């Protein structure tokens, strides 16, 4: 296994490098964002370990830009920050796993091996349906080139519909995918949010992207309606 570690704390980088070397893992270290990005793009690595707070270009930007450039190497984010928001951000930007500093070496090793096994399947960053565009990385939605502001829940619902475009999705399935069913259990909440979404992405444009399939659920038209 070959790992690129993007980490500006030299002592930590060296400790991790030595520990992984003892496990037969080759580690290259990049000490800042720009060199990390360049090496990740150029080199053939099995896993990238990416610190978030980096000189030059932070880990969020490095991860997002790598995905935009079509680099699908699994990314494990390392960070001293431990807020839930930061984890969500990192995942939205294309990271695959997350470890908060200080972390235990055996845990890091186990996560790296798991990511290595998973490989690097291609995951398109930007979702499209006709002129409807949703970017999970930047959390932007556009219709016909115009930016649309959605709430977090509206965004999550639209993202799920777009990831499964042209499939009929039942209300209970949407509820499970987008809401916490232990908190929200009434499938009618899906209907309410579909209405909110239509008012933002369809009605003003005279379109019908989110189609009702009687008795079955909803379907997002692949052509954007
Ligand atoms: Ca740092």
Same domain, yes or no, for 17 and 96?
A: yes
Question: Is the pLDDT at 94 greater than 70, yes or no?
Answer: yes
pLDDT band at 82 (very low <50, low <70, confident <90, very high): low
In the beta sheet, which residues pair with residue 47? Answer: 3
pLDDT given at position 111? 93
Residues 6+ apart with CB under 8 A from 193: 153, 154, 157, 178
pLDDT at 124: 61
Which of 21-25, 90-94, 151-155 is least confident?
90-94
| Res. 19 pLDDT band, cuts 50 70 90 | very high
Pick the residue with more confidence: 103 or 121? 103
Q: What is the 3-state secondary structure (H, E, C) of the chain?
A: CEEEEECCCHHHHHHHHHHHHHCCCEEEEECCHHHHHHHHHHCCCCEEEEECCCCCCCHHHHHHHHHHCCCCCCEEEEECCCCHHHHHHHHHCCCCEEEECCCCHHHHHHHHHHHHHHCCCCCCCCEEECCEEEECCCCEEEECCEEECCCHHHHHHHHHHHHCCCCCECHHHHHHHHCCCCCCCCCHHHHHHHHHHHHHHCHHHCCCCEEEECCCEEEECCCCC
Mean pLDDT estimate for the chain: 89
The verdict on residue 225 lying in a domain is: no
* CATH number of the domain bearing residue 58: 3.40.50.2300
Quote the ligand 1 centre to 29 CA distance (angstroms): 13
Q: What percent of the chain has pLDDT over 70?
A: 93
Query: How remote is the CA of residue 15 from the centroid of ligand 1, in Å?
Result: 15
- Residue 148 sits in the same domain as residue 72: no
Q: Contact 36/30 with Cβ under 8 angstroms?
A: yes
Q: Are residues 75 and 183 in the same domain?
A: no
Residue range(s) defining the domain that contains residue 150:
127-220
Point out the domain boundary residue: 89, 118, 147: 118
Expressed in angstroms and rounded, the spacing between residue 73 Cα and the centre of ligand 1 is: 21
**Does residue 91 sit within a domain?**
yes
The phi, psi pair for 129, rounded to 5°, reads -145, 100
Question: Region 124-134: what's the mean pLDDT?
Answer: 87
Residue 80 has a pLDDT of 76
**Is the pLDDT confidence value at 139 over 60?**
yes
- Output the CA 121–ligand 1 centroid distance in Å: 28
Same structural domain, 106 and 150: no
Residue 179 has pLDDT above 90, yes or no: no
Q: Are residues 133 and 112 in the same domain?
A: no
Query: For residues 1 and 27, what is the distance between their CA atoms, to the nearest angstrom?
Result: 9
Q: Which CATH number do you get for residue 183?
A: 1.10.10.10
Give the distance (Å) from ligand 1 centre to CA of residue 79. Answer: 7
Specify the number of domains making up the chain. Answer: 2
> Taking 60 as the threshold, does the pLDDT of residue 84 lie above it?
no
* pLDDT above 80 for 92: no
54 and 26 both lie in a single domain: yes
Do residue 64 and residue 101 come from a single domain?
yes
CA of residue 64 to ligand 1 center, whole Å: 17
Distance (Å, rounded) from C-alpha 53 to C-alpha 17?
Answer: 19
Ligand 1 centroid, distance to 53 Cα (angstroms) = 4
Q: Residue 10 C-alpha to ligand 1 middle, in angstroms?
A: 10
Tokens of 39: 């090496």
Q: Do 113 and 136 belong to one domain? A: no
- Quick one: 113 and 16 in the same domain? yes
- Give per-residue pLDDT as tens, 33-69: 999 999 999 878 999 999 988 999 999 899 988 988 8
CA gyration radius, the chain: 20
Q: Are residues 114 and 132 in the same domain?
A: no
Say whether both 49 and 150 belong to one domain: no
Sequence-distant (6+) residues with CB within 8 A of 133 are 126, 127, 140, 141, 142, 143
Tokens of 223: 């052509």
């Amino acid at each position: 296994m070959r790992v690129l570690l993007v980490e500006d704390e030299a002592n930590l980088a060296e400790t991790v490098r030595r520990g992984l070397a003892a496990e037969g893992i080759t580690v290259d270290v990049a000490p800042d964002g720009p060199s990390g990005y360049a090496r990740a793009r150029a080199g053939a690595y099995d896993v990238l370990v990416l610190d978030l707070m980096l000189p030059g270009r932070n880990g969020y930007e490095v991860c997002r830009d790598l995905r935009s450039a079509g680099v699908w190497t699994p990314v494990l984010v390392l960070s001293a920050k431990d807020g839930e928001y930061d984890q969500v951000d990192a995942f939205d930007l294309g990271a695959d796993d997350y470890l908060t500093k200080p972390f235990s070496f055996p845990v890091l090793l186990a996560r790296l091996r798991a990511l290595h096994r998973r490989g690097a399947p291609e995951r398109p960053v930007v979702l499209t349906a006709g002129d409807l565009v949703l970017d999970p990385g930047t959390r932007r939605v556009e219709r016909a080139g115009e930016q649309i502001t959605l709430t977090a829940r509206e965004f999550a619902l639209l993202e799920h519909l777009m990831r499964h475009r042209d499939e009929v999705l039942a209300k209970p399935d949407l509820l499970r995918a987008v809401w916490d069913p232990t908190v929200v259990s009434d499938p009618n909440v899906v209907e309410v949010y579909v209405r909110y979404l239509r008012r933002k992405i369809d009605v003003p444009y005279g379109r019908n992207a989110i189609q009702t399939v009687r008795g079955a659920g909803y379907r997002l038209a692949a052509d954007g309606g």
